[in-house]
Amino acid sequence: METAESSIDEIKKIAGEIDGIHTERVELNGSFFDFAARFASMPGTVILMSGGDNDCSRYHILGAKPWLTFTGRVNDIKIKAEDHGFNFRADPFDTLRNILNAYKPYVRHLHGHNIQSPFTAGILGYLSYDLKDSLEKLPRTSIDDLYLPHICFFAPSIIVIHDRKEDRASLFIPERIVSGKSVLHKDLEVFKNILGAKQPLLESFSGDIDGFRSNFTRSKYINAVKQIKEYIASGHVYQVNLAQRFEMNFEGSAFGLFKTLYNLNPAPFFSYINAGDHFIVSTSPERFLLQSGDQLETRPIKGTMPRGDTLKEDKKLGLELKNSKKDGAELSMIVDLLRNDLGKICKAGSVRVSEHKRLEAYKNVFHLVSIVEGILDRNRDAVDIIKAAFPGGSITGCPKIRAMEIIDELEPYRRHIYTGSIGYISFHDTMDLSIAIRTATIVNKKIIFSVGGGIVFDSDPFDEYDETMHKGRTLMEVFKGKEKVLSSKNHVWINGNIEPIELAKINVADQGFLFGYGFFETIRVNKGKPQYLKEHITRFNQTWQHFFFKQVPDLTWQDIIYQIISSNGLLEKTAAVKIVASKGNNEKSSFNFTLLLMTRPYTHRLAEKREQGLNLVVYPKPRQTPLADYKTLNYLYYLLAGEWAKKKGADEALILNPDDTISETNTANILLIKDKTFIMPVSPHVLPGIMEKVVCELLLSWGYISESKKLCLEDLFLADQVIVNNSLIGAIQVLSIDGKKLKKPTDLWMKINNAVL
């Protein structure tokens, strides 16, 4: 682990120093979108697009092929320079300042002499809203389910700026000296090779047929608004921004989504970030912070009104927003907050509101905008500016700290990029960051975005909910006609209902959840036909009566299994079905249980292995518990044993009894074959398997003799063959234990499978 103090100097040795800025004109030969598409699939590419005719919509910016990547979560910092990685603990803002200071002096000198552009060298990326916890001591009561970086920036070696006003595109490449040699020719070669390659086809994208799902119901959102109004009435706050988050499955191209949204509704601060393992697509209209030397600007937005269908209606709606007392009061409140924020780092008396309640027209909506300006105080820098104002007051509330506490209390998930910031910070005293609203994250084959609104004392809870739906409409509607019907969409059967797995609910007081008070059966289903169903249900019913002391469920399991297999599109495939029964929590109910069926496609263990058998390792923690007589939900021991085996490079863990005799593996029963005898290990507590019984009966019919006795590890090496078995895999031979090979097996296991599967 590197230290924060030593890392920046070491990083400069690896990444090199900047000795100049290579500049040349570039012919786009088409739209900037088509040009940028060539780079969109490269991790570390950032594209900042300025849409519309707004006075802050002048430049398109492309940054690609990063020579330095900087990410961090809380104080865990990761920096990649060339192919070298640095991990250390440090404050993310201190690290940001160290990176900027390492390259600022010489680049600023170069820029001041002969280059006129908003950005020629520096970093592009994002600051997530959750970075607030590095600035303030705040309660953290919401879930961080995405586990993405709080700060993520890339220093590009290829920078293309398109000046829309002059219709001129320019290439900027920081001339780096690495190990005493310039790498400019390499960066130029990469750039020219990309331009010389075939223009990529724009890929499509799709979402779920059922559309987006919110983490709030309508009633819960309305109740949360009412709770904020109570806080306001009690004097805690004047305003709080409350958001709901939507998500659904996503397939296809994030850049394709980006281009589609831009064509539908261009705004000043469109952003696309390919962060490697996730993508950010932003359609924001709001500037957070602009720096040009010592000149600062912020442009808060409060108030939204849809555009009219006719010129007369359009004018009427614009005036209605302009004259709205509620929206005007909200904007004035946030302007005062931002004046105070800028006042922390600006020269005394320099902060002023240059324009207030300006009506700005966009393709689909009107907004009320104010412009607050200031002059940066001496010895202050970009990091000071961000720390003074982050996160933007227009999307937190007032006062900011208490508003953020309430947001965390009422919103179930961390916001990540939503209401954070996206943009660039240069090495030559320029910066432009947007507020990340109308912004989507694409990660783990899901698309996630949030919409919210500022809640004040006279807010109508029902109107506030409707406003969030209106704000999210553009992103939602872009998927219409692009829905993908998934034939294997995951459904579960729960207490008589078939539900999408995302909507299935188990009471948190269910004793199966609290204590593992329950059990399960796993059944192999071949093309809709359950194997050994009678035997599985017999064992299920016996376990039910042992644990629950109740009459067994009166269900035709074959029909239920057919329903769940059919709902998941698995009728023509091999599937694994798991039946789960857990003790409920309602003692007054005659049916005080949760019954659950889930299914998944099943691929045999050997299908993805070169070796036709399994390698075992002995688990170092012996096991003996009466719960092992049944397939209870207390399965963590076996789960951890299996994960431990995989880390050791094996397929299964061999479980021992406390006296070091053989018990089973973490998923299967064991049989030893010696001459014409099959031997079952005797273990004080082990579940007799359905497949074990089937295999034993088959071997008896083939003339084998059955024997049960205690077995030691040495006995496995003396056997002619060791076979493990369960209902999914059938029978599989064991090849080695702890890396030591067993006797060369016969094809007996294959003959067994041909008969039983």
Within the chain, how many helices (H) and strands (E) appear? Answer: 19, 40
Nearest to 228 by CA among 411, 418, 437: 411
Helix (H), strand (E) at residue 637: helix 636-647
Distance CA 627, CA 685 (A): 8
Cβ atoms of residues 131 and 421 within 8 Å: no
Q: What are phi and psi of 375, to 5 degrees?
A: -115, 125
Q: What are phi and psi of 290, to 5 degrees?
A: -120, 130
* 518 CB-contact burial (10 Å; exposed 0-12 / middle 13-18 / buried 19+): buried
* Catalytic member of 80, 104, 259, 302: 302
Distance CA 107, CA 119 (A): 11
For residue 524, the cross-strand partners are 576
Active site residue 499: no
* Catalytic member of 286, 330, 373, 464: 286
Q: Which pairs count as long-range contacts for 665-670, CB under 8 Å and 24+ apart, including other chains?
A: 665/616, 665/724, 666/619, 666/638, 666/639, 666/641, 666/642, 667/638, 667/642, 667/726, 668/724, 668/725, 668/726, 668/729, 668/732, 669/724, 669/725, 669/726, 670/722, 670/723, 670/724
Burial 675-713 (b: 16+ CB within 10 A, else e): eeebbbbebeebbebbbbebbbeebeeeebeeeeeebee
- Record the tokens describing residue 272, joined without a space: 């696309």
Nearest to 594 by CA among 579, 581, 577, 610: 581
To which residue do tokens 């863990």 refer? 653
Active site residue 302: yes
Distance CA 467, CA 469 (A): 5
Distance CA 497, CA 507 (A): 15
Distance CA 513, CA 130 (A): 30
Q: By three-state DSSP, how is residue 155 classified?
A: strand
Cβ atoms of residues 580 and 598 within 8 Å: yes
Cβ atoms of residues 712 and 660 within 8 Å: yes
Q: By three-state DSSP, how is residue 725 classified?
A: strand
What phi-psi label fits residue 180: left (phi over 0), alpha (psi between -120 and 50 degrees) or beta? left
Beta strands 740-741 and 239-252, pairing class: unpaired
Distance CA 168, CA 162 (A): 6
Distances (CA, A) of 699 to 256, 671, 693, 706, 756: 59, 11, 10, 9, 11
Q: By three-state DSSP, how is residue 577 classified?
A: strand
Nearest to 478 by CA among 205, 279, 268: 205
* 506 CB-contact burial (10 Å; exposed 0-12 / middle 13-18 / buried 19+): middle
> Which are the contacts of 54, defined by CB distance < 8 A and separation ≥ 6?
268, 360
Percent helix, percent strand, percent coil in the chain, to nearest 5: 30, 35, 35
DSSP 386-451: HHHHPSPGGGTEESHHHHHHHHHHH-SB--TTTTSEEEEEESSSEEEEEE--SEEEEETTEEEEEE
DSSP 446-488: EEEEEEEEEE-TT--HHHHHHHHHHHTHHHHHTTTT-EE--TT
| Alpha helices per DSSP H over 478-567 | 511-515, 533-548, 557-567
Let me know the angle formed at the C-alpha of 236 by 232 and 238, rounded to the nearest 5 degrees: 50
Dihedral sign, Cα of residue 331, residue 336, residue 341, residue 345: positive
Residues assigned a catalytic role:
286, 302
